[in-house]
Amino acid sequence: RFQARLDYARKFGDHNVSGMLLFYLQNKVISNQVPYRYMGFSGRATYDYRNKYLFEFNIGYNGSENFARGKRYGVFPAGAVGWVITQERFMRGVKWLDHLKLRASWGKAGNNQGIGNYAWQAVYATQNVVVDGSGSKGLYISSLSNADLKWETTATTDIGLDMGFFDNR
């Protein structure tokens, strides 16, 4: 397993910017000595202005040998925005409300679990058969190939309101 990460954070007056890049590679041997590889890149960029207006963007690019060539990689983006309303001037006189944030996010995730290793390939097996009165081994397809297997994807949207009252942030 190999992983490399690069982080960045900087403040420019009222502006805060951060970012992260990640590369990971996993080589492992699973049951019956079958090798399996999984790799990916991930990135995140965030920006906020005065801790009031919040923006985040994420991207993942993952590859798995569970899928045939041409279907092995998937791109999975996500983003979020937020507005900390209690940071606005018009909220300064409200003593009982310590924190009020409106937030929304959308993201796409990918899954390659439960598919089985190399499930996109046909599996061959042998069986004893009788040919012309004598025993022999015959070869047959025990599992059909499915070159159309691809990443299972799910998109999620969230909208929320975070609140804190009476010194409970």
- Residues 67-123: tens digit of each pLDDT: 888 888 999 999 999 999 998 888 888 888 888 999 999 999 988 877 777 777 888
Both tokens of 72, joined, read: 């092995």
Average pLDDT over the chain, rounded to an integer = 87
Report the distance separating Cα 76 and Cα 60, nearest Å. 5
Q: Which residue has the higher pLDDT, 83 or 36?
A: 83
With bands split at pLDDT 50, 70 and 90, how would you rate the model's confidence at 6? very high
Tell me: pLDDT of 56 over 70. Answer: yes
Report the distance separating Cα 66 and Cα 120, nearest Å. 7
pTM for the predicted model, two decimal places: 0.75
Both tokens of 100, joined, read: 């009020």
- Cα end-to-end distance, the chain, whole Å: 40
Report the distance separating Cα 13 and Cα 131, nearest Å. 84
With bands split at pLDDT 50, 70 and 90, how would you rate the model's confidence at 30? low
Report the distance separating Cα 88 and Cα 125, nearest Å. 69
- Pick the range with the lowest mean pLDDT from 52-56, 135-139, 160-164: 135-139
Q: Which residue has the higher pLDDT, 139 or 4?
A: 4
Q: Long-range contacts for 91-99 (Cβ within 8 Å, ≥24 apart)?
A: 96/165, 96/166, 97/163, 97/164, 97/165, 98/164, 98/165, 98/166, 98/167, 98/168, 98/169, 99/162, 99/163, 99/164, 99/169
Tell me: pLDDT of 31 over 80. Answer: no
Q: Degrees (nearest 5) of the Cα angle 87, 93, 95? A: 90
Residue 156 has a pLDDT of 96
Residue 66 has a pLDDT of 81
Q: Which residue has the higher pLDDT, 150 or 13?
A: 13
